[in-house]
Structure 1
Amino acid sequence: MLGGTEFAGRAIAEDAVRRGWQVTVFHRGRHAPPDGVTALHGDRTAEGGLAALERGEWDLVVDTWSDAPRAVRDTARLLSGRVPHCTYISSRSVYPFPAPAGSTENGPVVEGSMDAGQVEYPRDKRGGELAVEAAFGDRALLVRAGLILGPYENVGRLPWWLRRMERGGPVLAPGPRTLKLQFIDVRDLAAWTLDAAERGLAGPYDLVGPPGHATMESFLRACARATGSGAELRWTEPEKILAAGVRPWTELPVWAPPGEMHGAVHGSDVSKALAAGLRCRPVEETVADTWAWLRSLPGDAPQRSDRPRLGLDPETEERVLNA
């Protein structure tokens, strides 16, 4: 496991340990690895940083890297002769935005280079894909994840909604209520990824739940119930929210108004992954388990340093509600 200490990587490593697999986690040592793994330390961006991986053989390797593609390139080249199969956790962001609703893995992708330094997230992920394919060929599985939620989240989408519900009172609930959401619980991503890698699947798979697995209403009601705060959902038309200058997706995480943006982030055709065994737990379980995890932390939820903090400030929310 390249990474394996945060969010998706941690969920994958923990799932592998539960299966009774022998798991090696290669990371920089900034976060504690999961229990039950063998830890190797190294910095993929530093000269000589891969020394700990120069010896050894493994059955599978999973890489979650999101920055400079050349780090994926160098690691894949180093391991390709000693590991039969490689999985790269990529992103649906490799499709030019906005991808039309109903898009599949056959859609066009952004340009990328496996020799590049860090550029921007979509091109970095595409470069990582190219690096893994160059080293492993038809032994490379590309997991193009959509919106990921669940315990260990370090982006701040579901944690923000849960903390907002915890405060109670009137909550700006972006409509329409029946707006379909598409996401995947990080633990379902982990389970499918390991199953697929064990089976030797290769090529790209869009990995996210089917459109409408949840709605805006079922998602927000689950958040309110989990916290038990008695928060009051004030459903508001998208037009009023946008007219007030509130930004979808960032100030109101998860939400995208009906139209082009919604089709791009919540309208992917995931028939290929479903046919390959993808199973998704109910949104209520994802929300409740994430709340339990949040409450277990001694402080705030972890936050990726390369991502901005998300959420709507209370003053703006009150202004929109009063209007």
Structure 2
Amino acid sequence: MRLLVLGGTEFVGRAVVEAALGRGWEVTVLHRGRHPAPPGARPLRGDRTGPDGLAALADGGGWDAVVDTWAGAPRAVRDAARLLRGRAGRYVYVSSRSVYAWAPPAGHTEDAPLVEGASADAERLDYARDKRGGELAAVDAFGADRSVLVRAGLILGPYENVGRLPWWLGRMARGGPVLAPGPRDLPLQYVDVRDLADWVLGAVTRGLSGPYTLVSPRGHATTGTLLDACARVTGGAAELRWTAPEVITGAGIEPWTGLPVWVPPGGEMHDALHGADVSRALAAGLVCRPVADTVADTWDWLLSLDGVTPLRPDRPAVGLDPETEARVLGIAGAPEV
């Protein structure tokens, strides 16, 4: 198989490239040169945001599929998809669950209402409408039968450049009492980036099309299994102090960002972020590895970086400062769960 990856040097794109190379595919990567392309891929240089940013593709031949992870102005997806529609068999756009109108209820499927106001021709608007605009651009150029819309949720694993799982691992490595947001049996939904990559390549070989919500089944992991794995793999020096959700939110700690991944149970935010019906993706071949493997492999990757964790500059910082954590842990009578 011949694969073109637009990007391909960081997180999701890199995982797709490495998975394809592992299958013996011929992989071309168009990137800006900020990071080296994975060994074995054919590198092409180009900045999609600048004039003639796709010029390197002019003589690039043809491909069985294109994988695009773009998260900026939809016009970049539009331009690439239009250029490639006669030279590639399928266009896989890695989108986001953010394209569902807020807040999708627990059990929502790919048929849930979508955000309004998106356009394939738009300049940058906001994350949700940018991703939906990218979807529209892919479908407009390749048609519904040759485009795959991968509506990924929370993505974890090696190469993560948002900082969620790396923050938890770094915090556990420091040891001592750790503010652990309860309840520990709260179900989570996420996808290991390598499982996402494997599914994408399977979608190409099987000729799939249409939208797929891509996260693990509800309850594949819980807050407890995730944080226990983090504590264990970093050496066991951390002492998890399970604390009731109302204590955490009452202290002004923001769910999802202050304590990454976690949102309190029983509300629309948890239903939206950790309550999707993923039966369509499972039927189409999604296989999710154990959370312990995701955590251990991410920790091994972090150890290889000599303390310098790559973070995207266009994403907000995540994690809790030590002073706030100590203050909440010191609240007299804080109930444990």
Counterpart amino acid of residue 298 in structure 1: D
Counterpart amino acid of residue 80 in structure 2: T
Structure 2 Cα separation of the partners of residues 232 and 300 of structure 1: 25
Task: Tell me by how many angstroms 1:299 deviates.
Answer: 3.1
| Aligned-residue CA RMSD (Å) | 0.7
Q: Which residue is 1:4 aligned to?
A: 8
Q: Is this contact kept in 2: 1:89–1:145, CA < 8 A?
A: yes
Q: How does 1:66-81 map to 2 (within 5 A)?
A: 66-81=71-86
Correspondence 1:200 to 2:207: yes
Counterpart amino acid of residue 126 in structure 2: E
Structure 1 Cα separation of the partners of residues 312 and 10 of structure 2: 9
Q: Is this contact kept in 2: 1:294–1:301, CA < 8 A?
A: yes
Q: Is this contact kept in 1: 2:174–2:237, CA < 8 A?
A: no
Q: Alignment partner for residue 20 of structure 2, among 16, 20, 36?
A: 16
Correspondence 1:132 to 2:135: no
Query: Structure 2 length as normaliser, TM-score?
Result: 0.95
Structure 2 Cα separation of the partners of residues 11 and 253 of structure 1: 22
Q: Is this contact kept in 2: 1:222–1:284, CA < 8 A?
A: yes
Q: Which residue is 2:329 aligned to?
A: 321
Q: Mean Cα displacement is larger for which, 52-61 or 313-322? A: 52-61
Q: Secondary structure at the match of 1:90?
A: strand
Q: Mean Cα displacement is larger for which, 297-306 or 33-42? A: 297-306
Q: Which residue is 2:313 aligned to?
A: 305
Q: Which residue is 2:299 aligned to?
A: 291
Task: Tell me by how many angstroms 1:91 deviates.
Answer: 0.3
Q: Alignment partner for residue 62 of structure 1, among 54, 64, 67?
A: 67
Task: Tell me by how many angstroms 1:298 deviates.
Answer: 2.6
Correspondence 1:51 to 2:46: no
Structure 2 Cα separation of the partners of residues 4 and 160 of structure 1: 24
Q: Which residue is 1:157 aligned to?
A: 164
Q: Which residue is 2:334 aligned to?
A: none
Correspondence 1:31 to 2:39: no
Q: Which residue is 1:218 aligned to?
A: 225
Counterpart amino acid of residue 250 in structure 1: T
Counterpart amino acid of residue 100 in structure 2: Y
Counterpart amino acid of residue 260 in structure 1: E
Q: Alignment partner for residue 147 of structure 1, among 144, 149, 154?
A: 154
Structure 2 Cα separation of the partners of residues 319 and 299 of structure 1: 27
Q: Is this contact kept in 2: 1:167–1:229, CA < 8 A?
A: no
Structure 1 Cα separation of the partners of residues 68 and 10 of structure 2: 12
Structure 2 Cα separation of the partners of residues 161 and 40 of structure 1: 35
Deviations 1:99-131 (A, max 9, x none): 111000000111210000111100000000000
Counterpart amino acid of residue 43 in structure 1: D
Q: Which residue is 1:84 aligned to?
A: 89
Q: Secondary structure at the match of 2:252?
A: coil
Identity %: 68
Correspondence 1:251 to 2:258: yes
Q: Secondary structure at the match of 2:26?
A: coil
Q: Which residue is 1:106 aligned to?
A: 111
Counterpart amino acid of residue 90 in structure 2: H
Structure 2 Cα separation of the partners of residues 119 and 226 of structure 1: 40
Counterpart amino acid of residue 186 in structure 1: V
Structure 2 Cα separation of the partners of residues 80 and 92 of structure 1: 25
Q: Secondary structure at the match of 1:23?
A: strand
Correspondence 1:235 to 2:239: no
Counterpart amino acid of residue 31 in structure 2: H
Task: Tell me by how many angstroms 1:200 deviates.
Answer: 1.1
Q: Alignment partner for residue 128 of structure 2, among 122, 132, 138?
A: 122
Q: Secondary structure at the match of 1:233?
A: strand
Deviations 1:268-296 (A, max 9, x none): 00000001111000000000000000000
Q: Which residue is 1:173 aligned to?
A: 180
Deviations 1:75-103 (A, max 9, x none): 00000001011100000000112211100
Structure 1 Cα separation of the partners of residues 251 and 308 of structure 2: 29
Q: Runs of at least 4 residues of structure 1 off by over 2 A?
A: none
Structure 2 Cα separation of the partners of residues 248 and 121 of structure 1: 19
Task: Tell me by how many angstroms 1:198 deviates.
Answer: 1.5
Q: Mean Cα displacement is larger for which, 48-57 or 66-75? A: 48-57
Q: How does 1:262-273 map to 2 (within 5 A)?
A: 262-273=270-281
Structure 2 Cα separation of the partners of residues 233 and 172 of structure 1: 6
